[in-house]
Amino acid sequence: MTFKLWLRSEARATERRAAIVPDDARLLVARGIGVTVERSPQRAFPLTEYAAAGCRIVPQDSWSEARPEDVIVGLKGLPSRPWALRNRHVVFAHAYKGQPGGRELLSRFTAGGGALLDMECLVDDEGRRVAAFGYWAGFVGASLAVLHARRVLPTLLEPLSGGELRARLRSSRRGRDRRETAVVVGSRGRCGRGACEALETAGIVPARWGRQETARLDREALLGHDILINAIGAEHAVPPLLTEQDLDHPARRLSVVGDVTCDVGAPTHALPVYTVPSTWDRPVQRLYGRGRPLDVIGLDNLCSLIPVEASRDFSRALCAHLPSLRDGSPLWQRALEHFLRLSAAPERPHRAPRHGAVATRPPPP
């Protein structure tokens, strides 16, 4: 029986990315893997390219009709129907850190006999994620913060290319008497590296803070920058970077925060000064304190603003491992074991899986 992947349409109207792009779908088909692709009104890649790659084309939102043994691949936002999930799903579920709705989603897999293979849990033998959007998330998040600080950020965000975004950053430098100062917290990770490159493209040399600086937080130094980029990849609750009291700090120079991590609603949220994510039509949230206001940009789908480049990089990394899902591998066993353990555990935040875990139950047939 042919092993089949089913690329579903994304439910969110602003989600333009694809977990599998046409060029990589062609390579999967060449290896004898069936690829079914749902129609999508907003995906950045034309359906004709998937058809030319040898994919089977089906109606939007028809993944519930897939065979139980088929693997459903998507990025975010599983629809609420059907309730019971019988397939294996490869997706960013955001269900393991205590996020709202996380336990409910896990119970849907339990009810249907399916399994969650969370993309955040696809880690190699050294515990490093094998496929991530982090670099581009950091680049876009820092870019939006800079463009807003320079009063050239559109009030309504729309997708563009990475080249266009870089050009806007360079253009924003012209005619400025001074360069803003910025600090990137979590600068050594994928998100942090992308954020630092965006800031440097804009002519800003950022302060780079890692675990040591965060553990011994110099609050006055942080508040003394114009821009703060939060790129912490927290797996458990962390002390807040900003509090309500900081808004009234007499020495606060900070005026723009780009929250790349955007763990709103989870115990790992490091910026409790705001409680709901930003949106494409309202990307900036204004907080007031004594003196000048503080603006926060916290989007939870940053990479969808440059969907083509972000999707191509991610798809290339993910598709290198999808063939091993057919035969089994430690990578997928670790993700399955993590699901089995946490779907049966009491509700609480959990760390991402590390190497060495082995599944006690094989994937569904």
- Tell me: the pLDDT tens digits for 291-307? 789 999 999 999 999 99
pLDDT at 101: 87
pLDDT at 1: 59
User: What is the spatial distance between Cα 317 and Cα 305, in angstroms, rounded to a whole number?
Assistant: 20
Q: Say which amino acid occupies 140.
A: V
pTM over 0.85: yes
pLDDT at 95: 86
Tokens coding 200:
């440097």
Residue 360 has pLDDT above 70, yes or no: no
Residue 220 has pLDDT above 90, yes or no: yes
Bin 339: left if φ > 0, else alpha if -120 < ψ < 50, else beta: alpha
User: What is the spatial distance between Cα 239 and Cα 218, in angstroms, rounded to a whole number?
Assistant: 13
Q: Name the fold adopted by 4-130+308-343.
A: Rossmann fold (3.40.50)
The label of the residue with tokens 């336990």 reads: 103
Q: Say which amino acid occupies 142.
A: A
Active site (catalytic) residues: 76, 94
Peptide bond connecting 41 to the previous residue in cis, omega within 30 degrees of 0: no
User: What is the spatial distance between Cα 329 and Cα 323, in angstroms, rounded to a whole number?
Assistant: 10
Query: Residues spanned by CATH 3.40.50.720 within the chain?
Result: 4-130+308-343, 134-306
Least Cα distance to 195 among 241, 156, 230, 219 occurs for 230
Average pLDDT score over residue span 133-159: 96
User: What is the spatial distance between Cα 335 and Cα 323, in angstroms, rounded to a whole number?
Assistant: 15
* Second-level CATH architecture of 134-306: 3-Layer(aba) Sandwich (3.40)
User: What is the spatial distance between Cα 220 and Cα 246, in angstroms, rounded to a whole number?
Assistant: 9
Residue 180 Cα distances to 288, 295, 340, 354, 362, angstroms: 21, 15, 48, 39, 54
